[in-house]
Structure 1
Amino acid sequence: MRTAISFVLLLSTAFAACNQAGTTAKNDSTTTEEASTENTIAGCYHKISGRDTAKLSLVIDDNKVNGTLEYRIYEKDKNSGVITGTLQDNILRATYEFQSEGMKSTRDVVFKLMGEQVYEAQTDSLNAEGLPVFNADAALLKFEPTPFKKTACE
């Protein structure tokens, strides 16, 4: 009889410990999800320059950035795709993978985030493949005068 009672007590103690561990793990994951949600920022931006337009949407999670970018240059094919990069000191350095004229291409892009506006960097030069090259020193980057302005996301 004592053995049966001891066994039941042992099982109930083990069961209680397992339940507490499950609760703790559940609470920890909830805390992690809330923390990551707090560090995530999303925004949409639109730029109009003459008859040319561009749209940019960003999701910033700590220093990692993902989003979409679309250019509609007047009387030319549009190009649209995704950007993936990192944000450091309000400078976004990203890779832009896009479709244009039925072809898939990749190039680097750089943006400066300033409050409700985003400025696209002008390229310093082109490499041997004709792709833009940007200065590694953020202080030496030059930016387009017309910014992307924050808008409601579609």
Structure 2
Amino acid sequence: MKRKFKACLSLSLLLLAVQACNSGNQTQNNNTATVKEVDNDTLPGTYEYIGKGDTIRLELNAQQDSVFGKLLYALGEKDRNVGDFKGHVKGGQLIGEYYFMSEGVGSVRDMIFNVTKEGLLEGYGEVEERDGGFRFLDTSKLKFDHGMLLEKK
């Protein structure tokens, strides 16, 4: 009886470990292909996601090698925040920082968007507080599979 219990427990733990490893490797939604190179001339514009009581809007401008603009998050039951995005394009990604006010406190956090033919997909991952803001621990482990595609308007 103890052997069966130990075998079931071991098998369950093994399955959980395999599932955890596999879920960590999924870094992009299969429905959207990342654009390999992005042209600063075609990127500017308004990108927006509206759905399920959530709104995200990014109004992008470009100047030489820099990309900047206003970013709004109004997510369902969470606090609304508005701020400034400043960054650059590298390969098929928009990489930068978001400077914003939330609950009266100024904050900054790293942001990376995959640029797709359909729009922008924000990357999420583990962060730590350092250098005066919230920084990604490992950008190679970011996930882009949340389904909130910011479509160009």
CA shift in 2, pair 1:115/1:106, >3 Å: same
- 1:135 pairs with 2:138: yes
User: Counterpart in 2 of 1:112?
Assistant: 114
Aligned amino acid, residue 141 of structure 1? L
Name stretches of at least 5 consecutive residues in structure 1 with no aligned partner: 1-37
How far off is 1:103 after superposition?
Answer: 1.5
* Identity across matched positions, percent: 32
| Whole-angstrom distance in 2 between the partners of 1:145 and 1:132 | 22
CA shift in 2, pair 1:128/1:59, >3 Å: closer
Q: TM-score, length-normalised on structure 1?
A: 0.62
Matched position secondary structure for 1:127: strand
Q: TM-score, length-normalised on structure 2?
A: 0.63
How far off is 1:75 after superposition?
Answer: 2.8
Given that residues 129 and 135 in structure 2 are in contact (C-alpha distance below 8 angstroms), is that contact kept between their aligned partners in structure 1? no
Given that residues 77 and 100 in structure 1 are in contact (C-alpha distance below 8 angstroms), is that contact kept between their aligned partners in structure 2? yes
User: Counterpart in 2 of 1:14?
Assistant: none
| Whole-angstrom distance in 2 between the partners of 1:39 and 1:121 | 20
| Whole-angstrom distance in 2 between the partners of 1:57 and 1:86 | 14
CA shift in 2, pair 1:146/1:134, >3 Å: farther
Name stretches of at least 5 consecutive residues in structure 2 with no aligned partner: 1-38
| Whole-angstrom distance in 2 between the partners of 1:70 and 1:92 | 17
| Whole-angstrom distance in 2 between the partners of 1:48 and 1:100 | 20
Task: Please say which of residues 103-112 and 127-136 is displaced more in the overlay.
Answer: 127-136
Aligned residue runs from structure 1 range 1-154, under 5 A: 40-41=41-42, 42-123=44-125, 125-128=126-129, 131-133=134-136, 135-137=138-140, 140-143=141-144, 144-151=146-153
Greater relative CO (CA pairs within 8 A, separation 6+): 2
CA shift in 2, pair 1:131/1:115, >3 Å: same
User: Counterpart in 1 of 2:10?
Assistant: none
Q: Per residue, is there more helix in 1 or in 2?
A: 1
